[in-house]
C-alpha cells in the first residue's frame, strides 16, 4: 500500500499525539560549544497514589505553592504536571476530562535552581490533596538538565486557541529568538485544555530538534512562554524524533 501523502506523512505509525501536524523543518544544522552551566535542575520525587485527574494543573500549583510559597517569586522554577503510563512519553494523552492511573513508576518533578534543592526537598513525605485524590511524595533525586539535540515540552501556553499550528510555530520561533536561538526543526501536537479560575488554559506540545548542546540547555533552563508553575513551557530531553517524523523520499513528493 502506498504511504499517504501530505501532512499526515509526518507521523510514523499510529502515533496519535502528533497526527496531521504542520512542520517547521529546515536543513540548517549548526555546531556550537556546549554550555557546561547547570544552574537549574529537576528534582524527581517518587510517588504513592492511585489516580489523579488529567485536569490537575491549577490544583497542583496551589498545593505545591502552599507548601513552598517561595516558588511564586522564583523565575526559574517550574512544576511539571504528573503523567501516567497513558501519556506515551508525550505523544499520546488520555481525554482531558479523564483520570491518570498512577503506578509505582509515576514521578512528580519540580524544576528549581540548584541553590533551592534543600528547601524543595521539604516536599518529601508530604501528601497532596488534589481534587479528591491523594498523592504522597516520597524521596527525591536530583536530575541535571541533559543537553540532547531534541527536546520536548508537553505543554506550551497558546494565546489564541483558534489560531492554526503554523501561527503557534511562529510564536515559538519568536520566543526562541529571545534566547538567541534560531530553530530549524519544530513540530507541534494536539491542543489540551485545563481549568483555571481565569478560564480555560489552552496548550500544545512542542518538539524542537537539531539543537546544539548549548542551545538545548538554554531552552530547558529558560523554557518558553508563561505559566511554568502550571506545567507550561518546561522542556525535557527526548532521545529521538524517529517515532514522530519520517521525511518523504524525493519520489514521493
| pLDDT recorded at residue 241 | 58
Among 144, 177, 202, identify where a domain stops: 144
Q: Answer yes or no: is 2 within a domain.
A: no
Q: Answer yes or no: is 242 within a domain.
A: no
Are 128 and 163 contained in the same domain?
A: no
Backbone dihedral angles phi then psi of residue 87, each to the nearest 5 degrees: -70, -15
Given a cut of 50, whether residue 247 has pLDDT beyond it is no
To which residue does cell 524527581 refer?
44
Q: Answer yes or no: is 252 within a domain.
A: no
| pLDDT recorded at residue 95 | 56
Are 192 and 131 contained in the same domain?
A: no
To which residue does cell 481549568 refer?
195
User: CATH code at 187?
Assistant: 3.30.70
| pLDDT recorded at residue 23 | 58
| pLDDT recorded at residue 86 | 52
Among 88, 115, 144, identify where a domain stops: 144
Are 195 and 107 contained in the same domain?
A: no
Are 134 and 194 contained in the same domain?
A: no
Q: Answer yes or no: is 1 within a domain.
A: no
Are 46 and 131 contained in the same domain?
A: yes
Q: Answer yes or no: is 202 within a domain.
A: yes
Q: Answer yes or no: is 233 within a domain.
A: yes
SS3 188: strand
Q: In the structure grid, which three cell numbers stand for residue 140, read together?
A: 527525591
Are 91 and 136 contained in the same domain?
A: yes
How many helices and strands (H and E) does the chain possess? Answer: 4, 12
Give the pLDDT band (50/70/90) at residue 50: very high
In order of 59, 83, 124, the CA distances from 130 in angstroms are 6, 14, 16
In order, the DSSP letters of 89-126 are GGT----TTSEEE--TT-EEEEEEEGGGHHHHGGGTT-
Given a cut of 50, whether residue 251 has pLDDT beyond it is no
The rounded mean pLDDT for the chain is 81
Q: Answer yes or no: is 248 within a domain.
A: no
Span 174-186, pLDDT tens digits: 999 999 999 999 9
| pLDDT recorded at residue 160 | 76
If one counts the domains in the chain, the total is 2
| pLDDT recorded at residue 215 | 95
Span 89-140, pLDDT tens digits: 444 455 555 888 999 999 999 999 999 999 999 999 999 999 889 999 999 9
Are 53 and 30 contained in the same domain?
A: no
Are 135 and 159 contained in the same domain?
A: no
| pLDDT recorded at residue 60 | 97
Q: Answer yes or no: is 246 within a domain.
A: no
| pLDDT recorded at residue 68 | 97
Domain interval for residue 227: 7-36+147-237
User: CATH code at 108?
Assistant: 3.30.70.1890
Amino acid at each position: 500500500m502506498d504511504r499517504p501523502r501530505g501532512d499526515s506523512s509526518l507521523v510514523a505509525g499510529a502515533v496519535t499525539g502528533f497526527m496531521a501536524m504542520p512542520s517547521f523543518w529546515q536543513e540548517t544544522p549548526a555546531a556550537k560549544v556546549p554550555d557546561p552551566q547547570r544552574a537549574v535542575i529537576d528534582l524527581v520525587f517518587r510517588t504513592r497514589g492511585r489516580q489523579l485527574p488529567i485536569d490537575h494543573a491549577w490544583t497542583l500549583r496551589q498545593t505545591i505553592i502552599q507548601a513552598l510559597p517561595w516558588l511564586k517569586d522564583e523565575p526559574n522554577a517550574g512544576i511539571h504536571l504528573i503523567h501516567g503510563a497513558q501519556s506515551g512519553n508525550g505523544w499520546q494523552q488520555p481525554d482531558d476530562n479523564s483520570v491518570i492511573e498512577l503506578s509505582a513508576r509515576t514521578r512528580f518533578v519540580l524544576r528549581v535552581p540548584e541553590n533551592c534543592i534543600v528547601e524543595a526537598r521539604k516536599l518529601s513525605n508530604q501528601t497532596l490533596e488534589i481534587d479528591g485524590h491523594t498523592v504522597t511524595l516520597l524521596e527525591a533525586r536530583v536530575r541535571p538538565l541533559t543537553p540532547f539535540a531534541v527536546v520536548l515540552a508537553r505543554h506550551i501556553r497558546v494565546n489564541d486557541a483558534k489560531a492554526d499550528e503554523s501561527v503557534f510555530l511562529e510564536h515559538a520561533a519568536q520566543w526562541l529568538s529571545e534566547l538567541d536561538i534560531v530553530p530549524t526543526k519544530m513540530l507541534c501536537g494536539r491542543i489540551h485544555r485545563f481549568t483555571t479560575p481565569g478560564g480555560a488554559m489552552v496548550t500544545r506540545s512542542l518538539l524542537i530538534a537539531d539543537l546544539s548542546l548549548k542551545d538545548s540547555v538554554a531552552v530547558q533552563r529558560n523554557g518558553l512562554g508563561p505559566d511554568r508553575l502550571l506545567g507550561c513551557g518546561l522542556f525535557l530531553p527526548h532521545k529521538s524524533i524517529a517515532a514522530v517524523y519520517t521525511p518523504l523520499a524525493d519520489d514521493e513528493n
